[in-house]
A and B are shown apart, each in its own frame.
Chain A
């Protein structure tokens, strides 16, 4: 985290890895999600996949908004999961466990991303 603050512009390696991971997880969600929607199934996966790819992309460029976008997508997933699976623990597991673990990691990157976002804003401000 120190290195992030020292360079002041780019997010650190852990944040980049997480951002790439989120994009990689989003791709199959979008690809198969389109198929599912085309077959008359749920639209949730393609929307969630697109949202987290965008979130990962923003994080890759050091924007804290990426982290917030992921967390919003995750928050929306909770009521959706309850709506689909009710209070059935086995039913909730695939819908919530993985996304929640990622959400915790994303939340941990917010301080670092705040630094890079601020740096990005101030450096842009300097050029203007």
Chain B
């Protein structure tokens, strides 16, 4: 009798063994073969979950600006480039997303110090004008970091409008309206930043000598003149390139660009996110190079067409369902490489339909030669990922302090909290990586897991031990007990527990990290690495197609799709596979509190000379969080989930928003002590930056909020400086 409680009813149950056979194909094609051209036009009306053929013409709005594409292009070489300012940033500038080509997020400015940081005041606030309108679902999380070059602060709004601001007053000098529509928003309306480019063929003083480059949510590459914001006529078609060319059928919002594309030796390298969890044959995750000067196509890296670097033939498309890369890329002009952090093949939680080529490069960092589009090396951080451990972080380049002198290296932070340190010439680990046995047991027919997974044992782990029943939490023994029951109901063999059909599983670390898109900051002067990270488990369960249908899980390109039932980063239809997926935070859904005990977020400083933790503290207070979503107003440092990265300054400070308490924080680099904070008008889920203008140092953060982090949305860029001395 006691078994018939609320709990039982609240847990999705589905009969194990009710799974469909993997493939109903009569022929001998392997399960990772995407539908061929014979599938179009369709012979019979499409079923509820049937894929519209990738060969079907793109729906209206997919090429949002109706940019003419022309015939398919063969590979070509970039216009010889001049050195970009991001290679050697002026002391007072922040000319690229991660401060410099290396993406260190370290600024040599030192006017603001631990002694005077408490006097910081708002210098100005700038409104981008982009936030949800009436009747629009909140999908906003601007995540923007402005760049600063000379007399301009350049940034984009969440919907990709481009602005130049006066760095001292925030006054808008020009604005380019990009015209991105609400329908084009994928999982999130984000524009992490813009790229500054100095042309090699246009002399100084002519229009479009210096340019601002933006990749948009509706898949356009835009170049405008940095001086006046006007489209650069010499780039693409009147300043724009259609990035949906060669992508096959799609719908608005399925594919989007949210990161600033790096420019490496004259090549703009374009990556895009593909909405998670929709269908196995989602649009391709292809990485492409375009000529920064003219917008001409240079090359494509298409995983399942490894030897073909040209655009697909007329009527054909880049290979479907391949891993996409949504993290910011890092360029390396000296080695002629771009470091691409990859995600999973489409349908994150089911791996039997992935090609061997995809399995080699998913959840990896891939170094692509920017001349040819061929990978030079690959380092994989998760083998056959079914946990959505796609890499959200940007790689940070640094000189590893080796015994026999510096080694060209990179940090690859991961959602797992494993930080890999690789030789960027070869991709070989500099610090030891161990292959350790991983759980294998699963009830999903045909699924085979990798016997081992890689652990970066030479670096401190940005994570905590596997969960135990006694780690469950609540406000009282009752809600704690609820979570203990939920813990015991799940199958859990520690990290890498494979997803199941008959029972929920715990995914820990969760898909918010460890390290996520905020990435890490590195001070090359002191050799200190600063990382903020999450302790937020997820609760996953595969569901049969029938069950997925019952709970309304439909792919975005289905006429039956409703945005409310599930989009990316949560429940997903995973159409074309036998199973849908349900994913939620491992929380008490009645109180809205996580099931594991705090802290949920940390900040860590690591000395790279010794690879030892210098200090580590919980990050973020309980002031804006509490049961049932009520703010407690308590200044207790509980350690909150966090998204957004830090800035290190030569003044000895760390500036960081990220936490769900809606504060911007300043920490002492030496001790980690919080020296200052200020309440932002919205969630500070964006990377901070700093710059100097007319002798004054400023610190900027986009307080755009984040829908998934449930922090308030605003359209305000908030900029701080010390008061003028009298």
Contacts and interface: CB of A to CB of B under 8 A. Distances in A.
A26 B87 CA distance: 66
Interface stretch (A2-10, A28-36, A109-117): A28-36
B484 interface: yes
A59 to B, nearest CB: 19
B477 A45 contact: yes
Given A42-B469, A85-B470, A35 B2 contact: yes
Given A39-B485, A94-B479, A32 B5 contact: yes
A84 B469 CA distance: 10
B477 A35 contact: no
A29 B481 contact: yes
Contact of A31 (B2, B471, B479, B598): B2
Given A41-B469, A42-B484, A90-B473, A34 B478 contact: no
B477 A98 contact: yes
B488 A36 contact: yes
A36 B487 CA distance: 9
Interface in B462-500: 469-471, 473-482, 484-485, 487-489
B38 interface: no
A73 to B, nearest CB: 11
B478 A28 contact: yes
A24 to B, nearest CB: 10
A56 interface: no
Interface in A34-74: 34-36, 39-42, 45, 48
Contacts of A36: 481, 484-485, 488
A45 B481 contact: yes
Nearest to B638: A90
B598 to A, nearest CB: 5
A98 B488 contact: no
B475 A94 contact: yes
Contact of B485 (A35, A84, A94, A97): A35
A71 B122 CA distance: 54
Q: Which bracket fits the contact residues of B? A: 20 to 34
A31 B597 CA distance: 23
A69 B487 CA distance: 30
Given A84-B470, A90-B473, A41 B484 contact: yes
A91 B482 contact: no
B469 A32 contact: no
Contacts of B471: 91
A11 interface: no
Interface in B633-679: 638
Contacts of A45: 477, 481, 484
B25 interface: no
B5 A35 contact: yes
A13 interface: no
A28 B597 contact: no
Interface string B585-599: 000000000000111
Interface string B483-524: 011011100000000000000000000000000000000000
Contacts of B475: 93-94, 97-98
A12 interface: no
B706 to A, nearest CB: 24
A28 B489 CA distance: 17
B477 A29 contact: yes
Contact of B482 (A25, A32, A84, A90): A32
B5 A31 contact: yes
Given A39-B488, A91-B597, A94-B476, A28 B470 contact: no
Given A90-B597, A91-B597, A35 B476 contact: no
A95 B484 contact: no
Nearest to A85: B470
Nearest to B478: A28
Contact of A32 (B7, B599, B638): B7
Contacts of A93: 473, 475
Contacts of B488: 36, 39-41
Contacts of A48: 477
Contacts of A40: 488
Contacts of B485: 32, 35-36, 39, 41
A32 B7 CA distance: 8
B484 A94 contact: no
Nearest to B618: A90
B593 to A, nearest CB: 10
A25 B186 CA distance: 45
A33 B2 CA distance: 10
A88 B2 CA distance: 33
Interface in B1-15: 2-3, 5, 7
A111 to B, nearest CB: 27
A109 to B, nearest CB: 20
Most buried by A among B477, B482, B599: B477
A90 B479 contact: no
Nearest to B468: A84
Interface in A79-127: 84-85, 88, 90-91, 93-95, 97-99
Given A90-B638, A98-B476, 8 more contacts: A25-B478, A32-B478, A35-B7, A39-B485, A41-B484, A88-B597, A90-B473, A91-B470
Interface of A: 25, 28-36, 39-42, 45, 48, 84-85, 88, 90-91, 93-95, 97-99
Interface of B: 2-3, 5, 7, 469-471, 473-482, 484-485, 487-489, 597-599, 638
20 contacts: A25-B478, A29-B481, A31-B2, A35-B2, A35-B3, A36-B484, A39-B489, A41-B488, A45-B484, A90-B473, A90-B598, A90-B599, A91-B471, A94-B473, A94-B474, A94-B480, A95-B477, A97-B475, A97-B476, A98-B476
- Interface pairs A-B: 7 shortest CB-CB: A39-B488, A98-B476, A94-B480, A94-B474, A84-B470, A41-B488, A90-B597
